[in-house]
Amino acid sequence: MIGRLLAGSVGSLIAALRPRTHQRVLAIAVAASLALIANSADAAGPRSIDWEAITREATGFLSKYIQINTTNPPGNELAAAQFLKEKFLADGIPAAVFESQPGRGIVAARLRGVNQHHKTLILLSHMDVVPADAAEWQQPPFSGLVKDGEIWGRGALDDKGPGIVELMAMLALKRAGITLNRDVLFLATADEEEGGRQGAGWVVEHQSDLIADAGYLLNEGGGIRIDKNGLAYYAVSTAEKAPLWLRLTATGVSGHASTPPDQTAVTHLVGALNRLIDYVPPVKVVTAVQNYYRVMAQLGRKPAEFEDLAKALRDPAFSRKFLAEPAQSAAVRNTIAPTVLSGSLKINIIPASVFAEVDCRLLPGEDPNVVVKSLRDVIADKTIKIDELLSFQSVSSPDKSGLMTAIQTLAKSHDDAPVVATMLNGFTDSHYFRQKGLIAYGFMPLEFGEVQEKAHMVHGANERISVKSLRDGIQRMVDLLRIFGGRGAR
């Protein structure tokens, strides 16, 4: 099998996870029974949520979740998937684990709503994490230590913390007897940090009926930003840059380093990398970026000249200052970052083959094939072989939808903050679902300061999340689900 379902009762669990149209029951009977349950809950009134208990439970869950080492490669997300599945099953929410490849786990859980005509909302997260060098950390990166009101560990922000926010919001709704008018499907996937082909990509290709009734998705990629003046705004990623990961390989004749020829595989590769580093991609202001800066200027969060960024960048002085900020520069052009080098294993041996890996990120609308051709011209060395390791085109979502309206309502009620659509300089698994027609937004209701240390913890040392931030995120997520679920927020 390409992948297998790991569950106690395959038939019943898989049926419970599918959209209603895939179950072997009459749709009218399902709708009637669910309506009866909902009416009963409404008659009694929803039960209050004990936020102190929810916070303690979420803190413990996240601590244990971090302790399950899912560093990718190799990932080994299966144990984490089983851990999450058991949390859902304990509260009566159908959940199951899939194994896309040996050791690569994916977990799905579905909280039923009462109206099968409303599109399901997917809450997406990923279980794998990037490597962590313990020598660089103040606390062990897989300890899940809770200290001074913070939960430490790799994945606390990317992406285990957001996953626990999603999980606990669903558990809180279930326990309180709050029934939405649409289903909520939790998906925690493998392999996101390496491109997602054994995670979200596998779900879309091999378990497409799980998401057949879905119309919306929330994922990492945005959140509640606190600007330099201490003012909040909700940043919702509607677009992302696309990866173009390349391997450059140079070959030559091996030999003793005491008698080097004029050109070797190493010198060819170094020359190619130098030319790439010297190359400055042209500036291009795509619609999502233009709109972001226009709105931020209109809100008074950016200077007035940012209202028409494309025009402002024609001023050399403004352009130099704007492009000096790496995040701003990456927002208006393709980026090229050599990240991996491999050569001889011994100092006195000239290797026959060496390679470098280069992480390129492309603006929406860029053709990867055209970009590769232009980079070949820049390298100007026919002996360099270029292989594509990962590549796909960027897909965007509209900045107006029912889900965006719900986020705006949440922002107004919780923080009296504006909502601003953004483009993410990185990429997430959202593209797999956007390609299938879903409206996917990068937004988790967690605070991320623009200039705070926290912004540098993702993929860096000392990653952690505060218990307060976790609690606030769960509360906001519960309210967002109630708003979008049509049952009102409290």
Question: How high is the pLDDT of residue 176?
Answer: 97
Question: How high is the pLDDT of residue 448?
Answer: 80
Helices and strands (DSSP H and E) totals, the chain: 15, 20
Does pLDDT of 41 surpass 60? Answer: no
Question: How high is the pLDDT of residue 7?
Answer: 47
Question: How high is the pLDDT of residue 376?
Answer: 98
Question: How high is the pLDDT of residue 44?
Answer: 52
DSSP state of 485: T
Q: pLDDT, tens digit, for every residue of 71-119?
A: 999 999 999 999 999 999 999 999 999 999 999 999 999 999 997 789 9
Output the DSSP codes for 227-275: -TTS-EEEEEEEEE-EEEEEEEEEE---EETTS--S--HHHHHHHHHHH
Between 1 and 206, residue with greater pLDDT: 206
- Distance between terminal CA atoms of the chain? 46
Q: What is the mean pLDDT of the chain?
A: 91
Which domains are delineated in the chain? 4-237+395-484 (3.40.630.10), 242-281+334-392 (3.30.70.360), 284-330 (no CATH)
Does pLDDT of 129 surpass 90? Answer: yes
Does pLDDT of 30 surpass 90? Answer: no
Strand ranges, E, within 35-156:
95-101, 104-111, 120-126, 146-147, 150-152
Q: pLDDT, tens digit, for every residue of 344-370?
A: 999 999 999 999 999 999 999 999 999
Positive or negative: CA dihedral 114, 116, 117, 121: positive
DSSP state of 351: -
Tokens of 342: 């491999």
Percent above pLDDT 70 for the chain: 89
Q: pLDDT, tens digit, for every residue of 1-19?
A: 445 555 444 456 667 787 8
Q: pLDDT, tens digit, for every residue of 283-315?
A: 999 999 999 999 999 999 999 999 999 999 999
Closest C-alpha among 268, 274, 234 to residue 251: 268
Question: How high is the pLDDT of residue 4?
Answer: 57
Q: pLDDT, tens digit, for every residue of 211-223?
A: 999 999 999 999 9
Say if residues 274 and 435 touch (Cβ distance below 8 Å).
no
User: Which neighbouring-strand residues pair with 243?
Assistant: 361
Question: What's the rounded Cα separation, in Å, for the pair 170 and 174?
Answer: 6
**CA geometry: angle 325, 462, 57, nearest 5 deg:** 120
Question: How high is the pLDDT of residue 117?
Answer: 83
